[in-house]
């Protein structure tokens, strides 16, 4: 069910617009200002293009491009002019937005930050990417956990940024906190095409949640991002799939009420519940232990692979970055 790509809105639906934004080249403060205005204009276009759209989702690197520059001149602040522009345009158009900034960090490398802003212009979710795509991304690993927020039309939203979505633990945590729509924003290039599709599908099915995902699109003269906006149903089946056309807006409708129904009424494959209630047919209420060694090792700070001593890449120096700034 996608309401003919979001053209038709049901009373319980949430209309999503995924913006396959043209990959920019941002080198100066003036470039940053111009790209901020382009993003704002795309918000206005989304509202004009499909009026029932409730939330418009932009890719990771929408302002910064893929240069991996950490130049202070083009970093952003939560209370800076770029974020204020996004607040204003969401309020102006009475639409929710999901945005990406590279956030200045006075105590280390910048953060790769995602923001969800509501239709009143208020920040509802502030998330810093947990898993930078090492060794080719220099960003400080996120320190705000994995928040969720109330979204449009009684939905609950979670956000994973790019490589975060390759870790099943990330989307499981978002679903565990109640997210019925999991957004995923990315700057991925074409070699990740297959991994992108299968993880978006598995993240949906394994957590009984919709996933709505979009990457940057087009070329900056060096990098070629893939676009590939897609909305996946909570049974893992793609509902809407985009293309590789820059600045195209992929639209569709999802039904959070059907997620809630599945999570409470499904017996077979109700994986979120069954993870913590193993074998409830044989044992009353199921077994509620954690039989997974990696979980307890992570918790205890003792996570170590059997092949750890043979790992080749453990920092970014082979990819042109300096040694890590922090111990």
List domains and CATH numbers for the chain.
3-256 (3.60.110.10)
List 40, 47, 60, 253, catalytic entry: 60
The pLDDT of residue 127: 98
pLDDT at 6: 76
Within 13 Å, how many C-alpha atoms sit on residue 309's CB side?
Answer: 1
Active site residue 129: yes
275 DSSP assignment: H
pLDDT in tens, 114-135: 999 999 999 999 999 999 999 9
Q: At what angle do helices 168-176 and 193-207 cross, to 10 degrees?
A: 30
Catalytic residue status for 60: yes
Distance CA 13, CA 257 (A): 8
Query: Which residues in the chain come in under a pLDDT of 50?
Result: none
CB 243 within 8 A of CB 4: no
Choosing from 90, 98, 103, 129, the catalytic residue is 129
Res 1: pLDDT: 52
- Please state whether the predicted TM-score (pTM) of the whole model is above 0.85: yes
The reported pLDDT for the residue numbered 2 is 62
Which of 40, 76, 149, 162 is an active site residue? 162
Inter-residue contact 243 to 218 (CB < 8 Å): no
Residue 209 neighbours by CB distance under 10 Å:
29
- Each residue's pLDDT tens digit, 261-277: 999 999 999 999 999 99
> Looking at residue 44, what is its pLDDT?
97
Q: Which two tokens mark 313?
A: 């890449």
Tokens read off for 152: 């449009």
């Amino acid at each position: 069910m996608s309401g003919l790509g979001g053209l038709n809105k049901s009373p319980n639906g949430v209309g999503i617009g995924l913006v396959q934004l043209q990959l920019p080249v941002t080198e100066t403060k003036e470039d940053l200002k111009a790209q901020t205005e382009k993003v704002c204009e795309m918000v206005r276009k989304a509202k004009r293009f499909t009026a029932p759209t409730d939330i418009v989702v932009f890719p990771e690197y929408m302002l910064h491009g893929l240069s991996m520059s950490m130049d202070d001149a083009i970093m952003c602040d939560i209370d800076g002019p770029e974020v204020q522009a996004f607040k204003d345009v969401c309020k102006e158009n009475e639409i929710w937005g999901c945005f990406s900034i590279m956030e200045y960090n006075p105590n280390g490398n910048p953060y790769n930050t995602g923001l969800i802003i509501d239709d009143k212009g208020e920040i509802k979710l502030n998330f810093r990417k947990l898993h930078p795509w090492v060794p080719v991304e220099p960003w400080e690993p996120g320190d705000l956990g994995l928040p969720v927020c109330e979204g449009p039309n009684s939905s609950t939203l979670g956000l994973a940024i790019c490589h975060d979505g390759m870790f099943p633990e990330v989307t499981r945590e978002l679903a565990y906190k109640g997210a019925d729509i999991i957004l995923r924003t990315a700057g991925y290039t074409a070699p990740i095409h297959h991994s992108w599709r299968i993880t978006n599908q598995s993240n949906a099915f394994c957590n009984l949640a919709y996933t709505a995902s979009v990457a940057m699109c087009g070329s900056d003269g060096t990098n070629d991002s893939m676009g590939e906006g897609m909305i996946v149903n909570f049974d893992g089946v793609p509902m809407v799939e985009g293309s590789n056309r820059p600045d195209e807006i992929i639209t569709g409708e999802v039904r959070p009420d059907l997620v809630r129904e599945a999570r409470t009424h499904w017996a077979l494959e109700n994986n979120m519940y069954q993870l913590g209630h193993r074998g409830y047919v044989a044992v009353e209420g199921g077994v509620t232990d954690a039989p997974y060694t990696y979980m307890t090792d992570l918790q205890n700070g003792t996570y170590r692979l059997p092949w750890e001593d043979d790992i080749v890449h453990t920092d970014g120096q082979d990819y042109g970055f300096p040694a890590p700034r922090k111990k």
